Amino acid sequence: MSLIQPFKSEIDFATGDLSPQRATLRRRLSDMKLMYADRNEAARILSEEGDRLIYEVQGVELPEEEGQIPHCTTRILPGRVGDEYHMTKGHYHARREQGEVYFGLSGRGYLLLQTDSGQTSEIEMVAGSAAYVPPYWAHRTVNIGAEDFVFFSVWEARAGHDYGTIERDGFRMLVLLRDGQPTVVDNPKYV
């Protein structure tokens, strides 16, 4: 186990920016163009409007050892691909028995969750919402507002990230604009 020196980050709740600056991961439409329900619209945006930024993650890098507690901010930009709101890729933890806590900093979003055995849950998040992602639940976040949706996450270093299952099967629910409202619907293409 590494002996890490104590440290802190200052968080800008509106942007998720950390100070001092930390590692930043940016996900653009090209990174997830096959994840949106309307793939034709994703392809049209890419060719006519360019490769828009969907979300960025800023976090501290810690060794993947028992007891280390990585934490990060995620900022999802507002917008839709067709009727579907901007979202993260979503994942199960590679070690399914590891949970996580999400804390809303600004904007409005949905935290979508599902299990291998077919259970689903959706949690609306605003600034101040502390949501628990229990072990065994895959999780994806969606920006349903007109502003950035920003939240903070804390998990255990050995959890790991399994993106492949969601890339292959999709998520059981979609969040779509229906009658002027963000609406959670079953994903007809879920495998």
Question: With CB cut-offs between 5 and 8 Å by kind, which of ligand PAN, Zn ion, none does residue 85 bind?
Answer: none
Residues in contact with ligand PAN, total (CB under 6 A)?
13
User: Residue 88 interacts with ligand PAN (CB under 6 A)?
Assistant: yes
Cβ(115)–Cβ(136) under 8 Å? yes
Q: How far is the CB of 89 from ligand PAN (least distance, A)?
A: 4
Pick between residue 33 and residue 179 the one whose CB is nearest to ligand PAN: 33
Distance set, CA 54 to CA 97, 139, 143 (Å): 29, 17, 10
User: Residue 28 interacts with ligand PAN (CB under 6 A)?
Assistant: no
Q: DSSP alpha helices (H): ranges in the chain?
A: 39-48, 164-169
Q: How far apart are CA 26 and CA 42, in angstroms?
A: 17
User: Residue 106 interacts with ligand PAN (CB under 6 A)?
Assistant: no
User: Residue 89 interacts with ligand PAN (CB under 6 A)?
Assistant: yes
Q: How far apart are CA 179 and CA 183, in angstroms?
A: 9
Binding site for Zn ion (CB under 5 A): 100
By rule CB under 6 A, what string of x and - marks binding of each residue 29-68 to ligand PAN? ----------------------------x-----------
User: Residue 155 interacts with ligand PAN (CB under 6 A)?
Assistant: yes
Burial of residue 158, with CB atoms counted within 10 A of its CB: 0-12 exposed, 13-18 middle, 19 or more buried: middle
